[in-house]
Amino acid sequence: MKLMGTGLLALALATTPLMAQVTAVGAGEGELDIIAWPGYMERGESDKAFDWITKFETETGCKVNAKTAGTSDEMVTLMNQGGFDLVTASGDASLRLIAGKKVQEINTGLIPSWDKVDPRLKDGAWFTVAGKHYGVPYQWGPNVLMYNTDVFKDAPTSWSVVFEPGNLPDGKPNAGRVQAYAGPIYVADAALYLMAHKPDLGITNPYELTPPQYAAALDLLRGQRKLVSRYWSDAAVQTDDFKNEGIVASTSWPYQVNLLLGEKFPIGSTVPSEGATGWSDTTMMATDAPHPNCAYKWMEHTLNSNLQSDLSVWFGSVPVVPAACTDGSGQQTAEGCKANGAETFDKIHFWTTP
């Protein structure tokens, strides 16, 4: 949230020199260490149909070692410890990594497939500072309102079902049956709700709030605390809560929606009338990456249409290479991309920090 002094952070980001930009890609070093969200690094062990690591290893000789992190804070901690080449950072971590000099500027001229990236994402404020790119887009998606279709016969039209006390369509109260995301970035979801329902606050950007706007968002979240059964951060725990703990509505990711649909659970998702926050994850390279050549080879590999297509099916996300939705290079289809939120871009306020 934008409070006192954030302009100094912006100035630091714009003027602090980082490691000299890589000017050429040489032979791979034989290893590659990556921090990633669950589901982002598949080599066919979970499902043989989803493997975008083995071919890369065969073609480049770079053995991929993936470290899974469940939260953005965990990713930042791991990058601070060092020893990793790349991280698939969300917008609530990326600018922190840049400001902390933990990641370096990317030479997009060394990534032949850069031109394939969705133009709307190329200069995303969450990884671009003073015209310099500190990463390569990986996947994106909305933070959807996930709901139990046995309770909601029609999709909810407002986030009020998780923010305001009241009865749900089955006649029972929502208290104890809804969840919220466990992270400071969720303050933006409250601010987005207030943008629509309390316009007198004058909120125009849910990530840049004046002190009165910030106070109003916190008040809304304090009231929500009485409704929330549990704050979630782990996707597997959330899906279990929907199946076994009586949770019927929550902010979520398409990943959980697809997991539950795959289990034939009565689940649906929507982007309500207020819009939604969302994420665009970026592959970022450590300032002191021990395997920079393998890192650049991987960043190019991630923009392969086949990888983008299959990853979007597996994770429930939207490719950053739009052609992956329609070119038949993988398992994704235009309908699948639409289901994952491809048409919601203009309704999304992407995670970022000032």
* Domain ranges within the chain, ordered by starting residue: 6-141+278-350, 142-276
The two beta strands, 318-319 and 136-142, are antiparallel
Per-residue pLDDT reduced to its tens digit, 251-265:
999 889 989 998 999
pTM of the complete model: 0.87
Statement: residue 168 has pLDDT above 80: yes
CA distances from 203 to 194, 196, 211 (A): 8, 9, 11
* 3-state secondary structure (DSSP) of residue 170: coil
Calpha distance 338→324 (Å, rounded)? 12
CATH number of 6-141+278-350: 3.40.190.10
Helices (H), the chain: 6-15, 54-60, 72-81, 94-99, 160-163, 187-197, 211-225, 235-244, 254-262, 292-302, 305-315, 334-339
pLDDT of residue 10: 42
Domains 6-141+278-350 and 142-276 belong to one CATH topology: yes
Assign domain 142-276 to a CATH class.
alpha beta
pLDDT of residue 6: 39
Provide the residue count of the chain. 354
138 backbone φψ class: left, alpha, beta (φ>0; ψ -120 to 50)? alpha
Per-residue pLDDT reduced to its tens digit, 207-243:
999 999 999 999 999 999 999 999 999 899 999 999 9
Chain mean pLDDT for the chain: 93
Interval 177-182 mean pLDDT: 97
Statement: residue 8 has pLDDT above 60: no
